[in-house]
Amino acid sequence: MGEATSREQLLHEAASLMLDFAERTGLTSSRPERRYLWTDAFAVCNLVDLARATGEARYGELALRLVEQVHLVLGRHREDDPRKGWISGLGAQEGELHPTRGGLRIGKSLPERAPGEPFDERLEWDRDGQYFHYLTQWMRALDQVALWTRRPHFNLWARELAETAHAAFAQRSPRGARPQMVWKMSIDLSRPLVPSMGQHDPLDGFLTCLELQTSASLLSRTPSGPSLEAAVADFRTMIEARDWTTADPLGLGGLLLDACHVDRLTRLGASVGDTLLEDLLAAAADGLADYARRGDLLEPPAGRLAFRELGLATGLACVEAIEAKPPAGLRPLSRRAAAALEALRQRFPLGSAIVAFWLDPEHRGNRTWAEHRDINEVMLATSALAQDGAFR
C-alpha cells in the first residue's frame, strides 16, 4: 500500500482491524474475554473515532460494550486469585456504580508477585498489578466517551480513577522534598511492586487530571464527584525542571501527544504553565533526531516492534494540528517552540511512511508481529485514524 493512502482506505483499514480485534478478544464473540488495559484504552478511542468519522452506530456501541467489559474484568480480581469481587472492596451493586474506585488491573498473564517473593525483573514484565501510565490512558478513554456521549458519569469514573491513582502512586518524600511516584503497584494498591518512577508518569498525571477537570466543567456547570486540584498541584510540582528527552519511539509519540494536549488545554483556558509546550516540542525534536540517526526503521520487519513505531506515527500526525500562529487572543509560540515545531515538521513524512509500511500485509507475517498482535493491530488502527485526522 503506497504512502498516498486515501481517507476511505484508512478508515476501512482501521475499521477492519478493530472489528477483528473485537471478535478475537471476546468482545463480539464467544471466545474468552482477553482484556489488557493499555490496548483496550486505545481501542475505545479508536471505536469512538470511527463512530464520529463514519456515523455508524455500531462502533459507538462497541466502545460502550468494551468499557463495560474492561470494568467487569480488570476492575475485579483475577479468576486465579483467592480474593473475589471488585478490587476496590466495594459490594457488587456499589462496585458497578463506581467501577474504577479501586483502580484497574493491567491484565498481564501471570499473577502479581506475592508479598516476600523475590523480585525477578524478567518475570515482573508478565506479572499483573497496576501501572499508572495505563490508568491515565484509561482515564482519557473514559473522558473521550463522556465528551462523545455527553454522559458525565464516564468523566466521573475517570476522575474517581484519577483520585485513586494519585493517592496510591504519588509517594510523599521526607522533609518536604518533592513527591515522587511509584511505577507499579499491587492489584489492591497496598504495596509497591516496582518503586522507581517512570520518566513521563508525572507529566501524564498532570495533563490528564487537567483534562478531566476541564471536561467536567464542559459537561456540567456543577460537576459532582472528586476535585483533582490536589493531584494537579502535586503533579505540577513533580514536572518542574524535568528533562523529557527520549529516543524511544513510543515515548516520543507520547511526548508529541502530550504537546497536543497542552495546546488544546491552552486553547480552553487551562493553566498549563508558560514553557511546557516548548519544553515538550524541543525534547521531542531532539529525541526524534537521535532516533532517526539510529536506523531502527531499516531493520527487517521481524526485528521491529510495530506498536512502538506506530505510537510515534500517531504523535507525528497529531502534532501537525499545532499552529505556530494560533487564533487571535492566544499567545503565539515562542521562538524556541516554533523552531522545534519546524524541526518536527521535517519529520512528518516519517509517520506516514511507518503507517504505510505496517499496512502492508507482507510486513505482518512474522512471529514478532503475531506475538504482539492485539496491541500492534490496535495501534495500527490508531495511527491510520491519526493520518486521516480522526484520532483525538
Asked if residue 267 has pLDDT above 90, the reply is no
Average pLDDT, integer, range 175-185: 83
Indicate the residue type of 385.
Answer: L
Asked if residue 276 has pLDDT above 90, the reply is yes
The per-residue pLDDT for 321 is: 84
When mean pLDDT is compared across 64-78, 175-189, 305-319, 369-383, the lowest value belongs to: 175-189
The per-residue pLDDT for 332 is: 81
Measure the CA–CA gap between 386 and 392, rounded to whole angstroms.
8
Segments making up each domain of the chain, as ranges: 107-242
Measure the CA–CA gap between 337 and 373, rounded to whole angstroms.
37
Average pLDDT value over all residues in the chain: 93
DSSP code, position 76: B
Asked if residue 375 has pLDDT above 70, the reply is yes
User: Which residues, in sequence order, are CB contacts of 1 under 8 Å at separation 6+?
Assistant: 9, 356, 359, 360
Q: Residue 355's pLDDT band (boundaries 50, 70, 90)?
A: very high
Report the 10 Å Cβ neighbour count for 299.
10
C-alpha cell at 82: 483467592
Q: What is the CA radius of gyration of the chain?
A: 20
Average pLDDT, integer, range 307-327: 88
Measure the CA–CA gap between 190 and 311, rounded to whole angstroms.
32
Average pLDDT, integer, range 232-244: 92
Convert the pLDDT of each residue in 121-178 to its tens digit.
999 999 999 999 999 999 999 999 999 999 999 999 999 999 999 999 998 766 666 7
**What Cα–Cα distance (Å) separates residue 93 from each residue in 70, 98, 160, 189, 228?**
17, 9, 17, 21, 25
C-alpha cell at 171: 509517594
